[in-house]
Amino acid sequence: MSERLVVIGGDATGMAAASQARRLKGPDELEIIAFERGRHTSYSACGIPYWVGGDVAGPEDLVARTPEEHRARDIDLRTGTEVTELDVEGRRVRARELESGGEYWTSYDKLVIATGAAPLRPDLPGIDAPGVHGVQTLDDGERLLATLTRARGKRAVVVGAGYIGVEMAEALIRRGYDVTVVNHAPQPMTTLDADMGALVDEAMRGMGITMVNGTAVTALGTGPDGHVNAVRTDEAEYPADVVVLGLGVRPQTDLARAAGLPLGPSGGLLTDLAMRVRGHEEIYAGGDCVEVLDLLAGRTRHIALGTHANKHGQVIGSNIGGGYATFPGVVGTAVSKVCELEIGRTGLRERDAAAAGYQCVSVTIESTSRAGYYPDAAPMTVKMIAERVTGRLLGTQIVGREGAGKRVDIAAVALTAGMTVEQMTALDLGYAPPFSPVWDPVLVAARKAVKAVRAAG
Amino acid sequence: MSERLVVIGGDATGMAAASQARRLKGPDELEIIAFERGRHTSYSACGIPYWVGGDVAGPEDLVARTPEEHRARDIDLRTGTEVTELDVEGRRVRARELESGGEYWTSYDKLVIATGAAPLRPDLPGIDAPGVHGVQTLDDGERLLATLTRARGKRAVVVGAGYIGVEMAEALIRRGYDVTVVNHAPQPMTTLDADMGALVDEAMRGMGITMVNGTAVTALGTGPDGHVNAVRTDEAEYPADVVVLGLGVRPQTDLARAAGLPLGPSGGLLTDLAMRVRGHEEIYAGGDCVEVLDLLAGRTRHIALGTHANKHGQVIGSNIGGGYATFPGVVGTAVSKVCELEIGRTGLRERDAAAAGYQCVSVTIESTSRAGYYPDAAPMTVKMIAERVTGRLLGTQIVGREGAGKRVDIAAVALTAGMTVEQMTALDLGYAPPFSPVWDPVLVAARKAVKAVRAAG
């Protein structure tokens, strides 16, 4: 008796789940049908800024596995087909072929919901004008590049200064644009504490980017041809030949919501550790459409990140394939790059820690990426947050140049292990002059944090 | 009543201990006398290869704190003065002023032994000829540079292919020398398993270095002027205008041995966790003259590394100053660089694991430093060793280009925390295309190790 697995969404989570399930179970045991609205599968949306910036030649480089490759692995992949309804009771989904408009129901024994996230698109005058672009899908990337190629002028405005905003600012700088970033928050990168975000702000200004912080966009102006030509705020107007929206994303869970599946405070699906939707043993969900457990804050949150999406797919596929795997949660690690600036963060910010009920101390130190005497030793600022009394590490943020970003992994592993900053001071980290000062910057921060914990009592 | 602290050895451990003790106790509470045989204090011997290679301008750049700076901090530092005898019973040391030959006894309440390590210098014909150089001290570095500056010719032979050997090979290449490395072991970097050492060998040959492995040096030839002119093995003779010895070091513990202090199997002093010499509450020891606890092998070993030496000094100074600190041991992390090649290792090699009584599985994977589509994504080989049955991580070795070396820190923290490879697969590591593929190479290795552990049963 063959079972049928239906997958909704053909990107990282959906196709990783399908592929892993197929690896464990052949077509005679498990039929796999995957529905994907777009034309592409298994691509790296995170790579779009580098494609736009010219570092990656074409969209095909961002595709890990094409529809044809999936089909060759006995996955019945139906692109250009949107799932419009989920009947949980009847264990079936309704699909619509976008081109023909034809609709049909397909039943399932197991279901994977991997519908991803949708970019936030504020309801502003002019938001739908030509020249205003999101960068969530490969198709978005193609449309943006078409606008850039038409080259009306070289003034770009990026709205938002989170990961996508800063990465797109870099991409546009690399393409020779004058870049203005209009940012609602007082600093870029609100995933950092304000003091660390201020370092990013300073560095971006140093790259020639015009930073307009603490300012909301009120409208997008358009020219006589209807194309965008300005970004307006309450105080000013910024001329724009192209506008990129980098306002973050929200879980795309309208289908799940309509079906009555459980959603968390951010609107993401809630799952158990095996990535099954809570209360529904036969429905799995993962990737940008779910909330993940924040192991430090003890609550779920929405974090759209390709690395989690791929892990989710792996876990889901293993479990559907008869194996066993869990996704225990995250500590909130993220790295980003704006030109030469590297930004790493993991764990809780000060305000997260307070909101979660922790009392904490925080310290900030300056160090270098290599021994001070070694060529190209680059300055690096490390902020470390630890729990009062226990000294348990709660978070780490690093802003610097080469060697700063991935250093945050040291803290990510320490957070996962529940280490105290005192334990961290004894960590046996790699040392040689081209790689680190004799005290790694993370150790310097841990030492200072130990003193702060003791002083706070 | 003031106590007196006597420190033997004015390099990393000794002066870090003195400085930290001074920070905690003023001169009225604690008198500090430090004896140093040479002229320099607190310098980075690890930086010598980069000074020789021309990356660091001069020896002064390698000095973290000069004798004058220490003296300004109320440390009675006596350079050019060697301690020749230690009277444990009488709590005193005999010092000899090298210039005047004058000798005197000095009593102590607390003693720090920080006598470092001495380079291995095999008893071979010609070993003392001009042009044959060790690279352990700043004075060694100065003598080597003097030979290089006299520039008799551009043929260099490096004897030994451990860290110092490979770093000196790079330094000499950078100075335009034809470099031959003659190495007793079958591969360079015996701190790696043979399969990973073979990758280093291949890369060094690719840099134009002549590698002669599995070959012992039998003699050093000299010319009519007495200067070295060749390195001889049983099979061949390699012309040499300069010879650099990179054969590793041994703990410099003749003084301690004569005083009857406890030494381990490598000849290093044995201490407790507070870095007190075992059985002697008033005598501390640290740095390259002690053995450290290998937390994975459950035994002590000698590892000469500046980062440990500095930590030891910090711990010793804190304890002498009335604070509290311990050095719990090491997991054996080390990183190294030969031209563009980066080498990281932590934990046990396969043979260490077997010798310690572990049964293990090991896996090797190929990945890249960045997303495969991102420019300059460099190949990286990761080997991971895990305990059978439990799946506990036992060791990780990484050989690659930029981004390979310090990645080993992820595994170093995981080893310290006692993580299993299964736990590691869920690690929340930093991901963005310029920093990592969506599965970090360490995660890819952990996933493969999980499969191997399960298959081994």
ipTM of model: 0.95
In this complex, the residue of A62, A333, A373 whose CB is nearest that of residue B428 is A333
Reading phi first (left if > 0) and then psi (alpha if -120 to 50, else beta), residue B352 is in alpha
Does residue B159 share a domain with residue B109?
no
On whether residue B47 sits in a domain, the answer given is yes
In this prediction, the residues of chain A whose per-residue pLDDT falls under 50 are none
The mean per-residue pLDDT over the stretch B270-275 comes to: 98
Task: Answer whether residue B382 shows pLDDT above 70.
Answer: yes
CA pseudo-torsion sign B399, B402, B404, B406 = positive
d(CA B162, CA B96): 34
**Residues in chain B within 8 Å Cβ distance of A435:** 335, 337, 342, 405-406
B142 and B236 in a single domain? The answer is: yes
Domain count within chain A: 3
Residues of B known to be catalytic: 46
Show residues of chain B in contact with A54, CB under 8 Å.
Answer: none
- Specify if B446 maps to a domain: yes
Residue at which a domain ends, from B289, B320, B351: B320
Q: Do residues B246 and B136 lie in contact, with contact meaning Cβ atoms separated by under 8 Å?
A: no
Chain B residues 272-331 with a CB less than 8 Å from chain A: 305-308, 310-311, 326-328, 330-331
- Give A 117-136 residues with CB within 8 A of chain B: none
Q: Do residue A409 and residue B426 have CB atoms under 8 angstroms apart? A: no
Point out the domain boundary residue: A261, A289, A320.
A320
One of A46, A289, A339, A360 is an active-site residue; which one?
A46
> How far is A213 from A198, CA to CA, in rounded Å?
11
How far apart are alpha carbons A406 and A429 in whole angstroms? Answer: 14
Residue A328 lies in a domain: no
> Is A325 among the domain residues?
no
Residue A260, number of CB atoms within 10 A of its CB? 12
In the prediction, which pLDDT does B1 show? 67
- Report the C-alpha gap between A352 and A372 in whole angstroms: 34
Q: Which residue of A has its CA nearest to B434?
A: A337
pLDDT in tens, B38-70: 999 988 888 999 999 999 988 889 999 999 999
* Per-window interface: B 224-243 vs A, CB < 8 A: none
Contact A433 B47 (CB under 8 A): yes
**Residue A197, domain member (yes or no):** yes
Measured between CA atoms, the residue of chain A closest to residue B397 is A430
Enumerate residues 61 to 120 of chain B having a beta carbon within 8 A of any beta carbon in chain A.
61-62
CB B98 within 8 A of CB B82: yes
As beta bridge partners, residue A62 has: none
Asked if residue B265 and residue B208 are part of one domain, the reply reads: no
* Radius of gyration over every alpha carbon of chain B, rounded to an integer in angstroms: 23
Is A439 within 8 Å of chain B by CB?
Answer: yes
Same domain for A307 and A227: no
**A214-244 b/e (C-beta count within 10 Å ≥ 16 → b):** ebebeebbbeeeebbbbbbbeeeebebbbbb
Nearest CA of chain B to the CA of A83: how many Å? 27
In angstroms, the CA A163 to CA A247 distance is 9
Q: What is the pLDDT of residues B410-435, one digit of tens each?
A: 999 999 999 999 999 999 999 999 99
Inter-helix orientation angle A194-206/A163-174, to 10° = 10
Greatest alpha-carbon pair distance for chain B in Å reads 70
Mean pLDDT of B141-154: 90
Q: Which residues, numbered 10 to 49 in chain A, qualify as contacts with chain B under a Cβ-Cβ cut-off of 8 Å?
A: 12, 44, 46-47
- In angstroms, the CA B442 to CA B446 distance is 6
**B contact residues 359-378, partner A, Cβ 8 Å cutoff:** 371, 373-375
The answer to whether B42 and B70 are in contact (CB under 8 A) is: yes
Which of B247, B272, B297 corresponds to the end of one domain?
A: B247
Q: For position B134, what pLDDT does the model report? A: 92
Minimal Cβ distance to B431: which of A335, A371, A438? A335
Exposure pattern of A105-116 as b/e (b: 16+ CB <10 Å)? Answer: ebebebbbbbbb
Can you give the pLDDT at residue A1?
67
Interatomic CA distance for residues B70 and B268, integer angstroms: 27
Q: Are residues A220 and A239 in the same domain?
A: yes
Mean pLDDT of chain B: 96
CATH for B314: 3.50.50.60
Quickly count: other Cβ atoms within 10 Å of residue B318's Cβ: 20
- Residues A425 and A443 sit within 8 Å (Cβ to Cβ): yes
Instruction: Tell me, yes or no, if B185 comes closer than 8 A to chain A by beta carbon.
Output: no
Residue range(s) defining the domain that contains residue A421: 334-456
Is the residue at B329 inside a domain? no
Alpha carbon separation from A271 to A111, A264, B343 (Å, rounded)? 13, 10, 40
pLDDT in tens, B75-111: 999 999 999 999 999 999 999 999 999 999 999 999 9
How many residues are recorded in chain A? 457
Strands (E), B297-414: 299-301, 334-338, 341-347, 360-368, 379-387, 393-400
Beta bridge partners of A85: A94
- The pLDDT value given to residue B440: 97
In a domain, B13, yes or no: yes
Task: Tell me, yes or no, whether A105 and A222 share the same domain.
Answer: no
A113 and A138 in a single domain? The answer is no
* A441 and A338 share one domain: yes
Chain B residues touching residue A376 (CB < 8 angstroms): none
Q: Do residues A148 and A236 share a domain? A: yes
Place of tokens 């050093």: B220
Residues contacting residue A330 through CB under 8 Å, at least 6 positions apart: A292, A293, A294, A295, A303, A308, B428
Residues B229 and B258 in one domain: no
- Stretch B352-371: mean pLDDT: 97
In a domain, A217, yes or no: yes
Q: Which of B293, B315, B409, B425 to mutate to test the interface with A (most CBs of A within 10 A)?
A: B409
Interface test with B, best of A331, A333, A413, A436 (most B CBs within 10 A): A413
Taking CB atoms and an 8 Å limit, are B44 and A311 in contact across chains? Answer: no
How far apart, in whole angstroms, are the C-alpha atoms of residue B37 and residue B78?
Answer: 8
In this structure, are B127 and B160 located in the same domain?
yes
Query: In this predicted structure, what is the pLDDT of residue A457?
Result: 84
pLDDT band at residue B152 using 50, 70 and 90 as cut-offs = confident
- Residue A255 sits in the same domain as residue A268: yes
Chain B partners within 8 Å of A455 (Cβ): none
From the list B342, B413, B432, the residue facing A427 with the nearest CB is B413
How confident is the model at residue B457, as a pLDDT? 85
Q: Coil, strand or helix: which one is A208?
A: coil
Q: Which helix (H) or strand (E) holds A83?
A: strand A81-87
Q: Is A46 a catalytic residue?
A: yes
Residue-wise pLDDT for B177-200, tens only, equals 999 999 999 999 999 999 999 999
